[in-house]
Chain A
Amino acid sequence: MSDAVLLDINDKIATLTINRPDARNAMSVEILEAMHKAVDSLADTQTSVLVITGAGRAFCAGMDLKAVLIELSGDPAMGERLLTSLAELTLKIRKLDQVTLASVNGAAIGGGCGLTCVCDVTVTHADAKLGFPEVDLGICPAVIAPWVVKKLGAGVARKAMLMGGVMSGQQAFHIGLVDQLAPDRDGLETLTHQIADRLASGGPKALSATKSLLNKLDGSLEESLVMQGAQLSASVLATPEAQSALAARMKQ
């Protein structure tokens, strides 16, 4: 396995760390493949909680702009491949028996923020940056929208995704994007351990049964919606409007 993702197993708690700190853990083909592998491997463990976090200062900066900018990648199909892989990964994470806890150590942007919404519980600290700036870049967060709507409720999700931009951990906590807030970055590690231990204290069967029922009740098993979202995001991503906005962002 590459070191793009680290998977640490400690008794009942697995911790997946996205490990490309110099690229703010942006989702490249390599990262997504490594995440798929790590998540698949949990089936062979006795864990009941999965913590997802990022190495370095960011949690995950979203899609790797270098990969989705056609003039740089030279591959017009790359965007669709990445988005499909992200869609499949989110569906896989949602269906895990393990309860998932996103520990947002720093920026969680776009697809990275969508990744937190698919998790069962999200914690961060007041100064983290979260949000969905896709529309600012002429792209469309359709692939993650089903998870954002389930996390925030449709009205608040609509505002967050149409207005774009990013918000602080504090604001994210206010709108329900984050479930618990550590006072600062250092406090987040302690809080994450506390919550992971508390979650792991539940009976594994009771936890996975509850999770699977909640998935049925809230429409999380409607895979076609997420896959269709990936296609829609990919089609908008390929437009000249989006490509030129992304190119302008890369130059900054």
Chain B
Amino acid sequence: MAAYVIRRVLANVLVFLLISVGIFVLVRLAPGDPVRMMVDPEQMRGGGAAFIEAKRHELGLDRPIFVQYGHWLSGALHGDLGYSYVGHRPVGAVLGERVGPTLQLMGAALAVALVVSVALGVAAAVRRNTAVDYGATVLGLAAVSVPPFFLGIVGIYVFSLQLGVLPSAGMTTPGGGGLVDQLRHLVLPGLILAFVTAGPFTRYVRGGLVDELGAEYVRTAEAKGASPARVVLRHALRNSLIPLITVVMYQIPQMLAGAVVIEQVFAWPGMGQLAVSSIGQHDYPVIVGFALYVAVLVLVCNLVADVLYAAVDPRVSLR
């Protein structure tokens, strides 16, 4: 197992290098020019061109792209991801202060989504073709069909504007604070992200459990005299949740995409908001840093999925 993990991590380092090349090149291929973005139109008059050249040289953008990459990589290997063109602060620090809020949002949403989807999926599978089942199906479809930004706007309209019970933006009330205040800010964006995520989860839990309930070992458990609850929870559910590990671990990076939109709507000071603004400002180092963060998240989630799989299913052994 340990040997397997080490080998996988080494393989992932190679993948990571390839991804970094791709991202580095793609970001620079995107239309637009970061230097022009920085320049005050006033300065463009007269000596503008010279100023731009000077700035470009200062940022190293006039050098061949592989030289730029080599420079960036040698820095990255020492933990230096460069400086934000906009904030003039280290990319690591800029990203670092955004990771916490996003993890908080995603973590809360994931926890709620898992609890709700397992409960709802089990209810739908056990009461197949009843109102519960159809209700779960409709909710699941709604979760994948309705765009999160729409849910966000409706949520703000209903709960913030009309009812006035929940805040509409930010992580805390400016100047205020406290745990309750933070939680109140988390409710709307967290629940919307949870709803969007729980939709597909519920379908997987239901489908998996329906399959397992038809398995012969379930009949064996019944023939042993196990109660219906025991048959479902102790026997069938455990087997049906194994494939869900893959689904969840695949979904976590996807959730980040959902978080980008939600953070934008709710002015949540997380990575998503940072990514959107950096792209708008052609802030190359930050964009590259963000993209690599996502890449690491995907690679780590895949690895965790494999390890968890082996831990839960005795038939799988990692060598």
Our verdict on whether A and B bind, yes or no, reads no
